[in-house]
Amino acid sequence: MKTCYLIIIYVFLAIGAKAQSITTLHVNKQIGKLRTTGVDTFVTYMDLFYGRLMLPAKDCQPSNIQYLIWKNKDRSYIQRFDDCKEYQPRPISNSFLNFVTDNYERLKKEGLLGPEFYVYDNLVFKIKPQHFDLHTSFENYLYVGINVTYRMYINHHSNYTFNIYLGKKTLKKVLNGFYLETESDGQSRNINYWRNQQTMLNKMKQLIDVEIKRQ
């Protein structure tokens, strides 16, 4: 039975990988066509969720969605690609690609930090008397607070993947969704949350999200 489950999981993963490769093939084909017209500014974007199995369905369910954004003659366009149907390009504002171009060097250097949390532990050090006595006044004890940090890891998360092509310059940035979106563990605030939120990487994701929602 265990072997049967493993085979099923392998088949589902293989289907997802095939869909991704087919979609990527279509994206690269479109990039090739645009290059022949002189276009040299592109960004591809994909939200890949780790730990999710796509189960077979009667109707086609997109298991891999990618976006291609490019600029041609000072106009920007976005086109969706998936393994179910074809989509036409549509014009968008230049805000996204202008941001990527203007902040390329910062985007290149930036990274996200994983979630870290402070845990406040009270350690009791007895000053007097020499032997512990439940009836001794609390004034006889010194409570020392120590900040301890721990990191949280998870296997199920989104990876927001950007491939940037600016002329001969290329850059790939993968944003770990768990790093970017974890604000707390339910009790303590993630030390790195606001730092990650203020990065150019997050700003880039916010801008592309705006355009995708307009699809």
Same domain, 32 and 77: yes
Q: Which helix (H) or strand (E) holds 176?
A: strand 169-176
Distance CA 132, CA 212 (A): 65
Residue 198 within a domain: yes
CATH code of the domain covering residue 204 = 3.30.1560
Distance CA 12, CA 41 (A): 35
Residue 78 within a domain: yes
Q: Which residues are bridge partners to 77 per DSSP?
A: 70, 91
Q: C-alpha angle with apex 122: 118 to 124, nearest 5 degrees? A: 155
Same domain, 80 and 146: no
* Enclosing domain of residue 86: 2-54+65-115+152-213
Place of tokens 């690269």: 28
pLDDT, position 76: 97
Confidence of residue 152 (pLDDT cuts 50, 70, 90): low
- For residue 13, pLDDT beyond 90: no
Indicate the pTM of the whole model.
0.74
Distance CA 121, CA 125 (A): 13
Residue 60 within a domain: no
Same domain, 99 and 183: yes
Residue 59 within a domain: no
Same domain, 143 and 82: no
Residue closest to 51 by CA, chosen among 175, 201, 178: 178
pLDDT, position 150: 55
Same domain, 156 and 187: yes
Distance CA 131, CA 36 (A): 85
Q: Please give the tally of structural domains in the chain.
A: 2
Contact 192, 73 (CB under 8 A): no
